[in-house]
Amino acid sequence: MVTIPPASPSTQPRQAAIFFILITVTLDVLSFGIVIPVLPKLVEDFMSGDTAEAASIYGIMGMAWALMQFVCSPIQGALSDRFGRRPIVLLSNLGLGLDYIFMALAPSVTWLFVGRVISGIAASSFSTAGAYIADVTLPEKRAAGFGMIGAAFGLGFILGPAVGGLLGVVDPRLPFWGAAATSLVNACYGFFVLPE
């Protein structure tokens, strides 16, 4: 029988940090998926039931989110090279949490649109997460680390719409509150476990 020695004190903080990064990636993707079931209905309500106009605005919101991801991911990566991975990842989580609250309280479609733009900016920490994994994993474990990021990405896409649909049955704004709580708790967790 093979016994595995317990993790050394030096690897335990690293494992906690990697776990935090994987949760962060999952939440970043979840930020897109969680609103998929409820956002069309919210937009339609703001448009007084005009389905055609609501569909157009919903499409523009999705494009704005993706565009912000595309533009801001390399910027966040460059900022993390200059200022460190930790502050960028923590600010991303904090930004997502505050943005979800902003969207939960949105009184108009304009607020929802601005919220989606902010969400795209805050959720663009994939490059920073990848860089962090590269920094803290051994060369022979790096491919596995990037594979875990891919798995976290997929998990976020699976959980987002499922959680959003379940919470949206209770109240269409509840998914935003749930995501805000999760992101803010994760930011607090990361503050204690994520070394530079």
Total-model pTM: 0.80
Q: Count the domains in the chain.
A: 1
- Model confidence pLDDT, tens digit, residues 63-101: 998 899 899 888 888 888 899 888 988 898 899 899 999
Cβ burial, residue 61 (10 Å; 0-12/13-18/19+): buried
Q: Could you give the CA distance from residue 5 to residue 53 in angstroms, rounded to a whole number?
A: 61
Provide the CATH number for the domain around residue 127: 1.20.1250.20
In a domain, 8, yes or no: no
In this structure, of 14-23, 59-68, 86-95, 164-173, the range with the lowest mean pLDDT score is 14-23
In a domain, 6, yes or no: no
pLDDT recorded at residue 7: 47
Give the angle 160-178-154 at the CA atoms, nearest 5°: 20
pLDDT recorded at residue 196: 67
Q: Determine the structural domain holding residue 66 and report its residue range.
A: 15-193
pLDDT recorded at residue 2: 42
Tokens of 109: 């479609």
In a domain, 1, yes or no: no
In a domain, 115, yes or no: yes
Listed residue (148, 120, 156, 177) closest to 21, CA to CA:
148
In a domain, 118, yes or no: yes
